[in-house]
């Protein structure tokens, strides 16, 4: 440890670079594993942890499944026929108003950029979800990874001891696992649906800790004989997957909200969404690069206003507590919080006092890492029918997200001989929202 200490706290030349781990391939198992253990130890040491925190970037995606209304959140149109009954309120940014349903966030826009000009054209739940998850229109014969997998690939460590893509989707509306597409199962999400902890993460009661460990050791020993004589990346990934089991199991405690003091739990609030925001913070703090917290039932074809009255209160509390907590822990500058849905809702208020699907002019927010707080990007017309300034497509949003995290949006992957840009062709980041 002494050695690790000096390198972490000394010159930045010796600092642990999270990116440094990425360059290693799975074949460099032993070295990378050792290096990673230093990182784990480092987390116990405040000085080292601080160093790491500066370098580890993470994303928390708050996913508003079903499609939240931009009118009742980030782009209110008070006094207009399309505006609905709620007021717009002032915020901590003098020129910016948001819906009165988001009073806590109204005091926290210094951390957050609002994008009001999404025009994504797909107002179908399935298609819209895929579009906003992957940043591009679905294309036959290329299975695109979703944002979580891309971030896991870019910011995760090859041999990470924590999951690198956790997706919490407890509600059933629009539940979608997403996936790693051509990046491969290594970057597939740990998907939590029925339970607050990931499936199969807990040791069976019938087995002792020591038996579980020694059984794994025997497996590794016997597997080695086979793997050593066969140079094959798929075989290597098998070994790596089993090697990660113990570490992932150890991360069970990250999902245990009872380990947080009552004050922290009170700070976030009692709803499932708010508790999952807290779990999200615990995960990010432990080095998980991507966490998705889905909050569904926004699909308000009927009673849009009552629905948003209830759901915005949940969102406003959970999101603002998360931002505050991240900030207090010094994690906000390295954590990007994205609040996004598959689409927004129509300006037109239907006969059931609902708003329907609408993908032509809607909003999302980006907070924290790499983001210019207080920025408002793009503009819709006075009734919110269309974008009049700064139109943004899903690919542009993804380019902005990558740039905020310091990932070159011009990067390309190769699928066979075919270059696949990390964002859609022609997509450009909105520099105005980047810090």
Partner 1 sequence: MNLVRDLLTLSVGLAFATRLHAADLIAPELQIEQAVDHYVQSHLTERQVHPAPPADDGALVRRTVLDLQGRIPTIAEAKKYIESTEPDKRLKLVDGLLASPDFAYQFRNQLDDLLMSGQKGNHNEWREYLLKAVRQNRTWDQMFRDMLIGNEDDPETKAATTFVRVRAKELDELTNETSTIFFGVNVSCAKCHDHPLVDDWKQDHYYGLASFFQRTYVTKKNLVAEKFAGEVKFKTTKGEDKVARLMFLTGTIVDEPVVEVSADERKQRDEEVKKQMQDDKAGPITKPPFSPRAKLVEIALQSGNDQLFAKAIVNRVWAMFLGRGLVHPLDQMHSANSASHPELLDWLARDLISHKYDLQRLVRGIVLSQAYARSSEWSGSTASPSADLFAVALIRPLTPRQYSMSLRMASAAPETYKPESTGDEWQKRRDELERNCEGFAHQFEQPGENFQVGVDEALLFSNSSQVADDYLRDSSDRLIGAIRPETDKSKQITAAYWAILTRPPSGEELAACEQFLDKRAEPVAGLRQMVWALLTSPELRFNH
Residue among 220 and 329 whose Cβ is closer to partner 1:
220
Single out the residue of 69, 112, 170, 190 in contact with partner 1 (rule: CB under 8 A): 190
Q: Which stretch binds partner 1 (CB under 8 A): 185-193, 330-338, 360-368, 387-395?
A: 185-193
Single out the residue of 145, 163, 318, 395 in contact with partner 1 (rule: CB under 8 A): 163
Q: 132-135 long-range CB contacts below 8 Å, 24 or more apart?
A: 132/340, 132/341, 132/342, 132/343, 132/394, 132/397, 133/176, 133/178, 134/181, 135/394, 135/395, 135/397, 135/398, 135/423, 135/424, 135/427
Single out the residue of 19, 80, 121, 212 in contact with partner 1 (rule: CB under 8 A): 212
Distance, CA of 387 to CA of 27 (rounded, Å) = 49
**Residue 426 Cβ vs partner 1, minimum distance, rounded to whole Å:** 10
The H-or-E segment that residue 167 falls in is strand 166-168
Single out the residue of 43, 216, 250, 434 in contact with partner 1 (rule: CB under 8 A): 216
The H-or-E segment that residue 88 falls in is strand 88-90
Find the length of the chain. 435
201 counts as binding partner 1 under rule CB under 8 A: yes
199 counts as binding partner 1 under rule CB under 8 A: yes
Q: Which parts of 104-143 interact with partner 1 (CB under 8 A)?
A: 139-142
202 counts as binding partner 1 under rule CB under 8 A: yes
**Residue 411 Cβ vs partner 1, minimum distance, rounded to whole Å:** 17
8 A C-beta contact, residue 366 and residue 401: yes
3 counts as binding partner 1 under rule CB under 8 A: no
CA-closest candidate to residue 215, choices 249, 257, 251: 249
194 counts as binding partner 1 under rule CB under 8 A: no
**Residue 179 Cβ vs partner 1, minimum distance, rounded to whole Å:** 9
Cα 411 to chain centroid, rounded: 20
Joined together, the tokens standing for residue 399 give 């380019």
Residue 225 CB coordination number (10 Å):
8
Cα distances (angstroms) measured from residue 179 to each of 141, 188, 193, 296, 335: 15, 5, 15, 19, 22
Residue among 90 and 208 whose Cβ is closer to partner 1:
208
**Residue 135 Cβ vs partner 1, minimum distance, rounded to whole Å:** 16
Q: Which parts of 329-348 interact with partner 1 (CB under 8 A)?
A: none
209 counts as binding partner 1 under rule CB under 8 A: no
Single out the residue of 5, 7, 55, 237 in contact with partner 1 (rule: CB under 8 A): 237
Single out the residue of 37, 245, 313, 353 in contact with partner 1 (rule: CB under 8 A): 245
Joined together, the tokens standing for residue 410 give 């011009």
Side-chain-side CA neighbours of residue 336 (13 Å): 31
Side-chain-side CA neighbours of residue 31 (13 Å): 9
Joined together, the tokens standing for residue 292 give 């998705």
218 counts as binding partner 1 under rule CB under 8 A: yes
Single out the residue of 10, 85, 226, 302 in contact with partner 1 (rule: CB under 8 A): 226
8 A C-beta contact, residue 415 and residue 385: no
CA-closest candidate to residue 22, choices 426, 417, 411: 411
416 counts as binding partner 1 under rule CB under 8 A: yes
Distance, CA of 416 to CA of 39 (rounded, Å) = 34
242 counts as binding partner 1 under rule CB under 8 A: yes
Single out the residue of 24, 175, 238, 379 in contact with partner 1 (rule: CB under 8 A): 238
Q: List the beta bridge partners of residue 294.
A: 63
Residue among 82 and 237 whose Cβ is closer to partner 1:
237
Residue among 13 and 194 whose Cβ is closer to partner 1:
194
411 counts as binding partner 1 under rule CB under 8 A: no
CA angle, 132 as apex, 417 and 298 as ends, to 5°? Answer: 160
**Residue 44 Cβ vs partner 1, minimum distance, rounded to whole Å:** 24
Joined together, the tokens standing for residue 138 give 């679905």
Binding site for partner 1 (CB under 8 A): 139-142, 163, 182, 184-186, 188, 190, 198-204, 206-207, 211-212, 214-216, 218-219, 221-223, 225-227, 229-235, 237-242, 244-245, 248-249, 415-418, 425
């Amino acid at each position: 440890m002494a050695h690790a200490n000096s390198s972490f706290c000394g010159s930045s030349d010796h600092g642990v670079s999270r990116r440094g781990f990425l360059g290693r391939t799975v074949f460099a198992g032993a070295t990378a594993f050792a290096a990673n253990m230093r990182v784990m130890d480092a987390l116990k040491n405040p000085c080292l942890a601080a160093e790491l925190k500066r370098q580890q970037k993470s994303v928390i995606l708050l996913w508003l499944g079903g499609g939240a209304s931009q009118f009742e959140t980030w782009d209110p149109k008070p006094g207009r026929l399309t505006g609905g009954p709620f007021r717009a309120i002032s915020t901590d940014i003098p020129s910016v108003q948001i819906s009165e349903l988001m009073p806590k966030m109204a005091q926290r826009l210094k951390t957050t950029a609002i994008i009001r000009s999404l025009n994504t054209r797909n107002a179908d739940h399935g298609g819209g979800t895929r579009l906003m998850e992957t940043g591009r229109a679905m294309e036959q014969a290329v299975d695109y990874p979703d944002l979580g997998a891309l971030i896991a690939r870019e910011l995760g460590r090859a041999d990470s001891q924590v999951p690198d893509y956790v997706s919490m989707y407890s509600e059933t509306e629009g539940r979608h696992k997403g996936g790693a597409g051509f990046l491969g199962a290594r970057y597939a999400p740990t998907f939590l649906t029925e339970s607050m902890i990931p499936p199969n993460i807990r040791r069976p009661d019938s087995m002792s800790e020591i038996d579980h460990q020694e059984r794994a050791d025997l497996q590794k020993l016997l597997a080695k004989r086979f793997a050593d004589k066969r140079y094959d990346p798929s075989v290597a990934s098998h070994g790596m997957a089993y090697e990660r089991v113990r570490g992932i199991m150890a991360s069970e405690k990250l999902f245990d909200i009872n380990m947080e003091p009552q004050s922290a739990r009170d700070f976030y609030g009692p709803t499932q969404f708010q508790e999952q925001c807290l779990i999200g913070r615990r995960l990010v703090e432990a080095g998980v690069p991507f966490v998705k917290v889905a909050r569904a039932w926004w699909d308000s074809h009927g009673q849009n206003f009552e629905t948003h009255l209830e759901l915005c209160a949940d969102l406003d509390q959970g999101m603002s507590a998360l931002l505050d907590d991240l900030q207090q822990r010094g994690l906000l500058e390295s954590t990007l919080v994205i609040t996004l849905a598959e689409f927004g809702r129509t300006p037109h208020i239907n006969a059931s006092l609902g708003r329907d699907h609408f993908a032509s002019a809607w909003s999302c927010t980006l907070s924290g890492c790499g983001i210019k707080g207080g920025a408002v990007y793009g503009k819709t017309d006075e009734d919110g029918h269309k974008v009049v300034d700064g139109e943004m497509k899903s690919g542009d949003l993804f380019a902005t997200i990558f740039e905020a995290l310091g990932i070159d949006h011009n990067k390309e992957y190769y699928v066979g001989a075919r270059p696949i840009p990390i964002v859609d062709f022609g997509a450009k980041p909105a520099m105005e929202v980047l810090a």
